[in-house]
Structure 1
Amino acid sequence: MGNCFSCFKGPPPPVPSTNGPLEKDKEEIKELTGVLSSAEDINCSPLGTVETQINGNSKGAGIPSFVVGSDNYGSLHRDKTTRTFYPRIPPLSRTSGLSSSETKGREPSESKLNVLFDQYRDSNEDSILADGIERLCNDLSVSPDDFKVLVLAWRLNAEQMCRFTRSEFVNGCRAMRVDSVRAIQAKLPELVADVLKDPEMFKDLYRFTFRFGLDAESGQRILPSDMAICLWRLVFSACEPPILSRWLFFLENHPHVRGIPRDTWNMFLNFSEAVGDDLSSYDDTEAWPSLFDDFVEFENDKLNQNISKDKEEIIKQDCE
């Protein structure tokens, strides 16, 4: 028969012939006899009773069925056993269609997370407090004031500084797909890298930091100035804006600034991006907090004083 798909096609259109009806019948009988002989030779259907669909019509028993090979050329198998191309297709894995992030790791164990939590929980309440957090940080090989610990608290969605409740710890670790100290330790660099390359994630961390520093039990709504300075240093420790050190110097030398409201905290992120390094693009007609106006005025006064001192020094040298 050759390498073809004629077994699956309908009969070709009749070719005009000059032979008479009797001769035509003889030719068809010879062709059919040849087909049957070839089928017996290649043994495509040992039972000879497999039904084959030809142009949607079922052929009855006795018509041989040819099995097409999987060599992409439609060749017929000529071995002595019946084959199909289905076993040649590799089975789909259970993770087929899932992204690498979805298949990476396993489902964390809640029982292991509760046991892990109990290793650090306080003896008097069902929370990990300052001592437990310090021991956890030691096991993680990080300092309690490390940026990674702030990122961890953010991912745990902790409501208060120096306190991780059981639900915060268990639910947060489950969301991170970790259930051991080693797993948390391996996850932290990945979390830090993600938050530093995604501005929206960093903004969310930045705003979380303000709430994290408040004393929730007393209903505190304004961050004390000294706490705000510490948290600004911490949240920007991995990506410090050029203006930060001058801003913190201003706050430290103006004791009348006793607290930082939420709006001032949130807008400082925009302010640090807008003014750059030299404050030349600052527009006092925009709706910035008044504390930013005071800071810019303070910086301009310092600049003018430096210019005056430089002029005095130049005049003094000329006189000499």
Structure 2
Amino acid sequence: MGNCFSCSKVPHPPVTTNQTNSLENKDEAMELRGLFPNSWPQTGSYVPTESPVNGNKISLNTLSMLTKVGSDNCGSVPGIQNNSRSSRSFYVRLPPLGRSGLSSGLNSGSELKSQKDPSESKMNALFEQYKDPQEDVILADGIERLCADLQLSPDEFKVLVLAWKLNAEQMCQFTRQEFITGLKTMRVDSVHGIQSRLPEIVQELNANNDLFKDLYRFTFRFGLDVSSGQRILPVDMATVLWRLVFTIREPPLLTRWLKFLECHHIRGIPRDTWNMFLNFVESIGDDLSAYDDAEAWPSLFDDFVEYENDQMNQNISKDDILKNVSIDKA
């Protein structure tokens, strides 16, 4: 992508005999000054000076001659060999890279940057490919076709991640604004671009707690039926979404938690309970030993801990009974 940087050469002004002789005289004066530093006069009509350019040294007059053609010279130039007329002559006659070459490089950089930016026209064309024929929205059928082109199953974790990046308000549909804004955020404008970006986002979610927390909270809203004004997530939907969002970073308590919900026939999960569950599993030990019922946990968490403790006590009691039976038999 982008154009290569290029520089164009402009011809150097012809060097007159007087200029060449002047340069040679200056070089000789510089050599004499090096041999007799203390006796060299501090005043006079000519004081040789040198200035480093691209790692080489050239006389001030030579530098001014170069800048007359173009001050923004790029690339290195051969150094001046003292006591060599041919080298000095070659250096003076070397065509510099003029300002037009630099401008070309800057323009190429701007073009390269613009080409790297995603194309909104391509995004709209991609949206048109999957949107519903009657409505300006991608519905379930279009999402299935998009997933097929992405080589994903609609119930995969990466599809949830895509919906999160698009900030979709409702399950099974993407509006044009959601789709275009989301792709801009992802900096992609094609199916291949989405395919390449999704694994990178999953890695970011694995490494960044705040990003995962944002995805987790989005998942609750994504599962609600917005059209009916639903505010509590049905427990069967909550169970599916908990398993889905914890495809990565699954807490050890998840299976036991879902079994508890199933056994107690919980009807729905409020937003606060959903959000607090992430904090709950991060702060409570695998054996629930760090749980403090004095903290402001939802009552459903209290019931879960009590249920788990009862299960643990029952298991201990059964083990004790089996041990006593084996001792009596002995």
TM-score by length of 2: 0.71
Taking a change above 3 Å as real, the CA distance of residues 75 and 247 of structure 1, as seen in their structure-2 partners, is same
* CA–CA separation in structure 1 for the residues paired with 2:127 and 2:223: 23
- Structure 2 residue corresponding to 1:317, chosen from 299, 320, 326: 326
Alignment of 1:213-292 (within 5 A): 213-255=223-265, 257-292=266-301
* CA–CA separation in structure 2 for the residues paired with 1:275 and 1:104: 50
Alignment of 1:183-198 (within 5 A): 183-198=193-208
- Structure 2 residue corresponding to 1:115, chosen from 113, 116, 125: 125
Q: Is the counterpart of residue 212 in structure 1 residue 222 in structure 2?
A: yes
Shift of 1:205: 0.6
Shift of 1:72: 4.4
Amino acid at match of 1:312: I
Identity of aligned residues (%): 57
CA contact (8 A) 2:130 2:146 kept: yes
**Secondary structure at 1:279's aligned position in 2?**
coil
Taking a change above 3 Å as real, the CA distance of residues 123 and 41 of structure 1, as seen in their structure-2 partners, is closer
Shift of 1:276: 2.4
Q: Is the counterpart of residue 173 in structure 1 residue 158 in structure 2?
A: no
* CA–CA separation in structure 1 for the residues paired with 2:192 and 2:55: 50
Deviates more, 1:121-130 or 1:230-239: 121-130
Amino acid at match of 1:261: P
Give runs of ≥4 in structure 1 deviating > 2 Å: 37-44, 62-78, 80-84, 90-98, 102-105
Alignment of 1:1-320 (within 5 A): 39=22, 41-42=24-25, 63=46, 68-70=51-53, 72=55, 74=57, 76=59, 77=80, 79-80=88-89, 82=92, 94=106, 106-255=116-265, 257-320=266-329
TM-score by length of 1: 0.74
CA contact (8 A) 2:50 2:57 kept: no
Taking a change above 3 Å as real, the CA distance of residues 262 and 309 of structure 1, as seen in their structure-2 partners, is same
* Structure ranking higher on relative contact order (CA contacts 8 Å, 6+ apart): 2
Query: What's the CA shift string for 1:244-270, capped at 9, x where partnerless?
Result: 111011111111x11111111111000
* CA–CA separation in structure 2 for the residues paired with 1:91 and 1:276: 63
Amino acid at match of 1:70: V
CA contact (8 A) 1:173 1:179 kept: yes
Shift of 1:83: 8.1
CA contact (8 A) 2:26 2:48 kept: no
CA contact (8 A) 1:42 1:79 kept: no
Higher helix share: 2
Taking a change above 3 Å as real, the CA distance of residues 211 and 91 of structure 1, as seen in their structure-2 partners, is same
Q: Which residue of 1 aligns with 2:40?
A: none
Taking a change above 3 Å as real, the CA distance of residues 176 and 91 of structure 1, as seen in their structure-2 partners, is same
Gaps of 5+ in 1: 1-36, 45-58
**Secondary structure at 2:51's aligned position in 1?**
coil
Shift of 1:91: 5.6
* CA–CA separation in structure 2 for the residues paired with 1:91 and 1:235: 52
CA contact (8 A) 2:131 2:139 kept: yes
**Secondary structure at 2:159's aligned position in 1?**
helix
Q: CA RMSD in A?
A: 3.4
Query: What's the CA shift string for 1:102-140, capped at 9, x where partnerless?
Result: 969712222211111111112231111111111111110
Taking a change above 3 Å as real, the CA distance of residues 301 and 87 of structure 1, as seen in their structure-2 partners, is same
* CA–CA separation in structure 2 for the residues paired with 1:96 and 1:240: 48
* CA–CA separation in structure 2 for the residues paired with 1:229 and 1:110: 37
Taking a change above 3 Å as real, the CA distance of residues 41 and 212 of structure 1, as seen in their structure-2 partners, is same
CA contact (8 A) 2:232 2:269 kept: yes
**Secondary structure at 1:144's aligned position in 2?**
coil
Shift of 1:221: 0.8
Shift of 1:63: 4.9
Q: Which structure has the greater CA radius of gyration? A: 1
- Length, aligned pairs only: 264
